[in-house]
Amino acid sequence: MSSIHIEAKVGEIAETVLLPGDPLRAKFVAENLLENAVCYNRVRNMFGYTGTYHGKRVSIQGSGMGMGSSAIYVNELINTYHVKNIIRVGTCGAIQKDITLGQVLLAVSASGDSGANAAYFNGMHYAATADFDLLLKAYNIAKDLQIKTIQGSIFSTDTFYDDIPNRWDIWEKHGIIGVEMESQILYTLAKRLGAKALSVLTVSDNIVTGQVSGAKEREQAYMDMMKIALELA
């Protein structure tokens, strides 16, 4: 048995899945950090692999960009493949001026503008939050690895490009530390479907200062984030 967008058979995906948006990041991590990695999914080139890390079985699955694409994979991973823990490993833009490129963020909660969330809750506002156990473990793992992390709230958006002036000012004012496109729906669906979720993010650009890193760096260079996530898995 497989799902619509994942060709793996039940049992070929581990209970803990790392979920990068970029399928090439999944491929890179599987080939460089996992042992005995086997590719279980090539549908739409959204690569998925299962291997071991320090003897523990773990999978890594690309999810695509945006909450619509991510929601498909989160639903299928939990409902069809009985995944218990999903750890998003991705990039974000910082909206606090003192946050530097390459900084690792642990997303405690995710505000956002998800149309799916609005539909789920009849226009009311749901506080989409990380699983506390995963969050605490990730924080302690980072301390043990001597990797500095920032814990805080992020914003997930459905629109990468827009014409709204000073769009992020209100969110910066209220302490939001970063912006990305997946975590709000991940946190909502994990709670809805009975799994645990956490987003571990690397700052790829700073929207306030204008600093930005390149595409190749976003694909391969963020090893601190991956070390935390793999130890957590």
Q: Residues, the chain, total?
A: 233
Q: Which residues contact 98 (CB under 8 A, 6 or more apart)?
A: none
Choosing from 98, 131, 169, 205, the catalytic residue is: 205
Strands 48-53 and 128-129: unpaired
Residue pair 104/228 in contact (Cβ under 8 Å)? The answer is yes
Task: Give me 153's structure tokens.
Answer: 């709230």
Which contiguous run of DSSP H or E holds residue 116? helix 115-120
Rounded to an integer, what is the distance from CA 89 to the centroid of its chain?
Answer: 4
For residue 27, give Cα distances in angstroms to 7, 78, 94, 213: 16, 21, 26, 20
To the query of whether residue 205 is one of the catalytic residues in this protein, the response is yes
* DSSP track, 147-184: --EEEEEEEE-S-SS---TTTTHHHHHTT--EEESSHH
Task: Give me 233's structure tokens.
Answer: 């898995």
DSSP helix/strand/coil, 38? strand
Residue pair 102/206 in contact (Cβ under 8 Å)? The answer is no
CB atoms within 10 A of CB 154: 27
Supply the residues annotated as catalytic. 205
